Amino acid sequence: MVDEHMSRRRLLAAVALSSSITGCTSVFEGESGATPSGNSATSVEVTEALTGISNPWGLAFLPDESGLLVTEQAGRLLLTDPKTGDRTALAGIPDVYARGQGGLLDVTLHPDFNSNHLVYLTYSVADEGGSTTRVGRGRLERDQGQIADFEPIYTARPFVESDGHYGSRAVFDTEGYLYVSVGDRQFKNFGPDHVAQLRDNDLGSVLRLHDDGSIPDSNPFVDDPGASGAVFTFGNRNPQGLAIHPETGAVWETEFGERDGDEINILEKGGNYGWPVADNSCGYGTDDPVGVPHEERADVVAPVYGWACGSGGFPPSGTTFYDGEAFPDWRGDLFIAGLAKRYLAHFTVDGREVTEIEPLLADRDQRIRDVVASPVSGHLYAAVDADNAPIYRIAPDE
């Protein structure tokens, strides 16, 4: 049955790729692949579930699909009803540093949300030393229209004089660990002393925490007095996507390169993902590689898929694995929000083999910031990165 299902998915990928247009490059094979034209083997209907949202960044459905939480980068958390378009701006949200790429960023729910109603937010904050990424949590009180008892639970160190590269996604894995991504804050000293290569800080990394923000004893560097115990992986440039594989439970991550060099990674405990000493980016405005290819260093983990310098890049933001009922042929597939390329990318996944097939929303020509699958209907919802934005619903065309 498994072989038959995978063969059918490969056939769908081949059909979609037969009408391809522009190119992208695999960082492993070095061959020109294709970004398909959008003639999907699965017929879909796209509607605007919500309109008039201001720079939405993160999406999270309540488990019964009775509401969709939406973060607006300027600092509002909305509880919306995609069926009616109604929305409430929730009280109790922390103050955020909404400049540059900062603000109110991701939102996710505790695995036991049905009993504890805990909502987690990532956001940027500032003090006299600059700004950084923080994660906190509070309790959704729907009838009162608020997040009650909100508290910060972890603050990435150090604060930096930069308004860029905060990360920042948050996701719980199947064991209840909380992963939070933190960007490299745009440090440009491309060498072994770059902050993403130094484990004494939280920058350019993915953190692993308990649900209260404390550091697990099983983290890879917790016994190293010179390292941040919260770090799970490092050498990550600006990770804006985290998703849990529905079958393996592995954490998948997407991150921006410099000029191109964007990546899809599978996170390994203690892994060094190379930035900037091993990378497939070029420096902005040049054709000069930032680092050596991943394959030339045995101490780094290579991406499972990437956009090499000269490919035009992507770059990838929010991501989700599809495991719903509405699109049976898409189960196990990966969807990634595309910013500069302005579409929702669709990939089939077979182990570590990742293949891009038909894009979604390419005809809209809009920056896509996040994507989530509804837990009951199985429809996909995608947030547009704009100051007067829609959130699209993607459903079967029946």
Q: What are the pLDDT digits (tens) for 292-342?
A: 999 999 999 999 999 999 998 899 999 999 999 999 999 999 999 999 999
Q: Residues 182-205: what's their mean pLDDT?
A: 97
Which residue in 330, 321, 175 sits closest to 254, CA to CA? 321
Residues in the chain: 398
Q: Residues 12-34: what's their mean pLDDT?
A: 31
Q: Which member of 5, 110, 117, 165 is catalytic? A: 165
Give catalytic status of residue 210 as yes or no: no
Q: How many Å apart are CA 165 and CA 214, to the nearest integer? A: 24
Q: How many Å apart are CA 341 and CA 346, to the nearest integer? A: 13
**Model pLDDT for residues 65-108, shown as the tens digit of each residue:** 999 999 999 999 999 999 999 999 999 999 999 999 999 999 99
Which long-range CB contacts under 8 A does 226-231 form with residues at least 24 apart? 226/199, 226/200, 227/199, 227/200, 228/157, 228/199, 228/200, 228/201, 228/202, 230/154, 230/202, 231/199, 231/202, 231/205, 231/206, 231/207
Could you tell me the two tokens for 52?
A: 């008039």
Q: Residues 212-231: what's their mean pLDDT?
A: 98
**Model pLDDT for residues 37-72, shown as the tens digit of each residue:** 333 468 999 999 999 999 999 999 999 999 999 999
Q: How many Å apart are CA 19 and CA 36, to the nearest integer? A: 6
